[in-house]
Amino acid sequence: MSNRNIFLGANLLSSNFDFELVRFAMSSSETPVSRRLQSVKHIIIVLAGKGGVGKSSVSTQLALNLYQSSPSARVGILDVDLTGPSIPRMLGLDGHGVHQSSDGWVPVYADGTDARLACMSVGFLLKKKEDSVVWRGPKKNGMIRQFLSDVRWGDLDYLVIDTPPGTSDEHLSLLEHMAPVHSRLSSVIVTTPQAVALMDAMKCLSFTRAVNLPVLGLIENMSGYVCPCCGEISNVFSTGGGEEMARREGLKFLGSLPVDTELVSLLDASEVDRESENPVDANRAEKTAESFVLLNRYSKTSSAKLFKNISEGVAASLAEAPASN
């Protein structure tokens, strides 16, 4: 090797920040997004870095738990995973469409006429569910801006935002457009105990620090699997790494969730399947919270009991956070 060999890393670092715009935007005052989000108290962004660690299922569970936390709680869930939206399926809302009203796009309500759990995803905008959304950054940016400024969320106590993996266009766009409401933003990081996932979670944490986004805490998902046959716990993806990372980085550890096949099946089944398995609910005249099938069935899973603590931890972190943060 000759002295021509140079380390390329330095090159890369000098340009590894695509974020000048965000800081710039923070100084701006009122925008269509800030006007629309005026009526939203807390905005929680669910991040992971790695794909398939359970961001969407955590987002869904967080929304359901916050919804349940009080009979009047109003929750929104926004899916900004534009090329792989999973939230409609998980909430059993596959095939629903979004309607335009004089006051903007009407979100899809997962709890029917109660209209306390509003959901928006690009999945509702596709003609066929297998259509691919092949968009580069600028179009994704436009879509996210519309989601934030054009959706008629109404008064919300919490808006949970599910993100795609990585730290790229979608994440930068979210932060950029929501810069005027930065004081109400916070995040939750999801990881699995594997080294590869923890590494990406660490990148994610670096991201939140770079953009000054408060982290409410860390959740370790897929931490162990209980054999339905003999009850033996297998650490399919190892265990404990999340808690260790939280301790090292001074983050609040919100809790760990084992793989729960019941939950996987519940979130994976379509609404139709759920109804057919629930003849008791079938004769209802209209959907209300009492017949919110998903929630009823979710409450019976073992994950629901564990997640209750996590959700309370999130709420506690929100209450502690100084308003100016």
Partner 1 sequence: MVQARDPVADVPENAPEHCPGTESEFAGKADACAGCENQQICASNDPKLPDPSLPFIKARMASVKRKILVLSGKGGVGKSTFTAQLGWAFAADEQIQTGIMDVDICGPSIPTILGIASEQVHSSSSGWSPVYVQDNLGVMSVGFMLPSARDAVMWRGPKKNGLISQFLKDVDWGELDYLVVDTPPGTSDEHLSIVQFLKESGIDGAVLITTPQEVALQDVRREIDFCRKVGIRILGLVENMSGFVCPGCKTESKIFKPTTGGGKKLAQDMGIELLGSVPLDPRIGKSADYGVSFLDEYPDSPASIAYLDIIDRIKEILGD
**Least gap, CB of 194 to partner 1 (angstroms):** 5
Q: Look at residue 53 and give its three-state secondary structure.
A: coil
Name residue, tokens 């990148």.
203
Asked if 39 and 153 count as a contact pair (C-beta separation under 8 A), the reply is yes
Separation between Cα atoms, residue 7 and residue 120, nearest integer Å: 45
Separation between Cα atoms, residue 302 and residue 225, nearest integer Å: 12
Between 87 and 156, name the residue whose CB sits nearer to partner 1.
Answer: 87
Q: What stretch of H or E contains 79?
A: strand 75-79
232 binds partner 1 (CB under 8 A): yes
Report the site for partner 1 in 130-159 (rule: CB under 8 A).
130-140, 142-143
Report the site for partner 1 in 54-93 (rule: CB under 8 A).
56, 81-84, 86, 89-90
Between 56 and 317, name the residue whose CB sits nearer to partner 1.
Answer: 56
Query: Quick one: which of 16, 2, 10, 20 has its CA closest to 203?
Result: 16
**Binding segment toward partner 1, per CB under 8 A, in 33-41, 229-237, 288-296, 312-320:** 229-237
The correct pick among 38, 41, 97, 305 for binding partner 1 (CB under 8 A) is: 97
Q: Which residues are annotated as a binding site for ATP?
A: 49-56
User: What x-and-dash track marks residues 249-288 binding partner 1 by CB under 8 A?
Assistant: ----------x-x--xx-xxxx--x---------------
* Chain centroid offset of residue 280 CA: 31
Give the dihedral sign, CA 197/202/203/207: positive
Q: Which residues are annotated as a binding site?
A: 49-56, 227, 230
Name the amino acid, one letter, at 150.
D
Between 139 and 247, name the residue whose CB sits nearer to partner 1.
Answer: 139
Report the site for partner 1 in 181-220 (rule: CB under 8 A).
192, 194-197, 199-200, 202-207, 210
Between 210 and 315, name the residue whose CB sits nearer to partner 1.
Answer: 210
**Least gap, CB of 189 to partner 1 (angstroms):** 12
Asked if 98 and 91 count as a contact pair (C-beta separation under 8 A), the reply is no
